[in-house]
Amino acid sequence: MDYPQWKAPAEDGQVLIWPSPDRILDQTRQNNRLLNGAKATIQGIALGELRRQQRQWLGHADADRPIIATGHQSELYHPGVWAKNALIDAAAERLGGDAVHIAVDSDEPKHLNLRWPGGNEPLTDDPNLPTAAWSGLLEGPTPAHLDHVEGHLRRSAGAWAFESTMMIWPFLHSMRKLAMESSELSAGLINAMHQLDWQMGLKHHALAAAPVWESPAYLVFVHHLMANAGELAEQYNGALADYRIANRIGNPGRPMPDLKQQDQRCESPFWVDDLGQGQRGRAMLLREGDRWVLRHGEEAFAFDPRKEGWKGAEELAGWMRGVRLRLAPRALMLTMFFRLLVADQFIHGIGGGQYDQVADDLIARHFGIEPPKFAVTTATLYFPLAVGRSRACLPCIRQEGHRLRHGILGERKMEMVRTINALPRRSMERAEVFSAMHRRLDESARDGEIVRWEERYRQAQAADVEDQGIFDRELFYALQPRDRLEALIDNYRRAFSG
């Protein structure tokens, strides 16, 4: 497949949708037919049957009713990420399907500080925020902490003309209510953001990822991939190598590192989460006879490629309960699972669309099927204070000053440079002419034009410090006024209404 070089729009309020909305709708229907009828087997079970069981487990019994899904880490994401929710809502409405946002609460905590121009506060006062292995381990904020965050933000926002319409206030209100009902930060964050989106008319479902990692069909998927760990690692690393060649990437860690293979050891693309200790490590398997084995202390589980799928999943689930472990997917496995066994269309941002090109290759190599098509979207929504403003280009102004300072002597400087170049290196004469030239340049610094440039540069530096917060594209989407978010939703609905 030909993947373009996606780039976020430069203009405020503009969106990127790839491919075109009509193609996304057509490909969703095609994906549904392709996957429901797929004969490729996973641990002896037809992919189409495994997919039907997984969707039923999620409460989606109609195999022909499309699911348009997206996902992101459970965090305070910016408008460009949030725009994916606007697209899945618009596409699901057009197709008569369901829109699903998968909140990945089994990933490492990131972006859980609420930042705004002039302020920064952690969303929770849980002291484990910097060290938790995955976000589902974090406790939610206390009401006192939320009061502190809101008070700090209101002091900064008091001078903003749009302060009263910012969606951050209903978000914090929901977080406060939910903190009384659940002690988990991820649960509160997922539900508060879901409520916020529903207030603006987005009717997607919010799905926490962690419970899915206990579902039977997911464990069939895991058992199969670990039972074939050596073959999978070769295919995984081969897909990465081809991607690096195609994109001229020399760094072996990009877009992600290879799976390690050494003697009778093989890395599998899953995390082993110790639920008792709150720690995680990479899944390293040992070859024992004709099977790959996962060890935990004195306990071990052998993955048998000949085991009937549901039986293998049941045995794996029982073993993990006994040793209090969880197998959570890493990046490629996470989207590969949802694209194959849950969604009819998966919507990525630009970063996800880049690494899932590797997933496309891996799906084709491992399962021998045409990979289902995915789509990409993002949007640009600046913080309102930045709209209509141009940010000073400090490198440009510095270069201007360099040209001004060195051009002020005109031809006289060029004569001195030619004289320097003609004199012997390290000679006293050469050093004297060089010093004389720089004395003249230093004297020229008192020139009126240079003085005016210096003042302009100082002003630009001061403005740049202020603009760093205003032009930050990573600010939480709920810091936007409601009307700007609803205008972006309308952009997507118009795009899919044709």
Indicate if 114 and 54 belong to the same structural domain.
yes
Residue 414 is encoded by which pair of tokens?
């060029």
Decide which of 105 and 1 is more confident. Answer: 105
Segment 169-192 shows an average pLDDT of 92
Give the chain's domain count: 2
Indicate if 83 and 179 belong to the same structural domain.
yes
pLDDT tens track for 409-452: 566 667 777 888 888 888 888 888 888 877 776 666 556 677 77
Domain-embedded: residue 431 = yes
Indicate if 108 and 145 belong to the same structural domain.
yes
Domain-embedded: residue 4 = no
472: which residues sit within 8 A by CB, 6+ positions away?
115, 117, 383
Q: What pLDDT is stored for residue 446 in this prediction? A: 58
For the question of whether the overall pTM of this predicted structure is more than 0.85, the answer is yes
Indicate if 38 and 161 belong to the same structural domain.
yes
Domain-embedded: residue 356 = yes
User: Percent of the chain beyond pLDDT 70?
Assistant: 96
Indicate if 66 and 176 belong to the same structural domain.
yes
Indicate if 481 and 445 belong to the same structural domain.
no
209: which residues sit within 8 A by CB, 6+ positions away?
71, 102, 103, 104, 105, 106, 334
Indicate if 78 and 198 belong to the same structural domain.
yes
Indicate if 343 and 405 belong to the same structural domain.
no
Q: In sequence order, what are the beta bridge partners of 285?
A: 266
Indicate if 82 and 50 belong to the same structural domain.
yes
Backbone φ and ψ for 280, nearest 5 degrees, come out as: -140, 155
Mean pLDDT for all residues in the chain: 93
Q: Hunting for tokens 């001004």 — which residue is that?
A: 404
Indicate if 155 and 29 belong to the same structural domain.
yes
Q: What pLDDT is stored for residue 324 in this prediction? A: 97
pLDDT tens track for 268-296: 999 999 999 999 999 999 999 999 999 99
Cα(378)–Cα(443) distance, rounded to whole angstroms? Answer: 52
Q: Which H helix or E strand runs over 92?
A: helix 79-95
Cα(202)–Cα(99) distance, rounded to whole angstroms? Answer: 9
Task: From residue 77, give the alpha-carbon distance in Å to each of 16, 82, 112, 348, 447.
Answer: 17, 7, 9, 14, 49
Q: What pLDDT is stored for residue 436 in this prediction? A: 80
Neighbours of 205 (CB within 10 A): 17
Cα(47)–Cα(40) distance, rounded to whole angstroms? Answer: 6
Poorest-confidence range of 144-158, 202-216, 434-448?
Answer: 434-448
Domain-embedded: residue 288 = no
Q: What pLDDT is stored for residue 174 in this prediction? A: 96
How does DSSP assign 405-421, residue by residue? HHHTTTHHHHHHHHHHH
Amino acid in the structure at residue 369: I
> Cα torsion for 80, 384, 176, 58, to the nearest 10°?
-20
Amino acid in the structure at residue 417: V
Indicate if 340 and 410 belong to the same structural domain.
no
Domain-embedded: residue 7 = no
Domain-embedded: residue 325 = no
Helix spans in 368-447 (H):
394-407, 411-422, 428-444
> Cα torsion for 475, 481, 482, 487, to the nearest 10°?
-80
Indicate if 372 and 407 belong to the same structural domain.
no
Instruction: Determine contact, residues 19/377, Cβ cutoff 8 Å.
Output: no
Identify the three-state secondary structure at position 490: helix
Backbone φ and ψ for 161, nearest 5 degrees, come out as: -65, -25
pLDDT at 472 over 60: yes
Decide which of 420 and 227 is more confident. Answer: 227
pLDDT tens track for 59-78: 999 999 999 999 999 999 99
Identify the three-state secondary structure at position 77: coil
Domain-embedded: residue 309 = no
pLDDT at 467 over 60: yes
Q: Find the domain containing 152 and state its range.
A: 15-214+334-386+476-495
Q: What pLDDT is stored for residue 71 in this prediction? A: 97
Cα(118)–Cα(160) distance, rounded to whole angstroms? Answer: 12
Domain-embedded: residue 305 = no
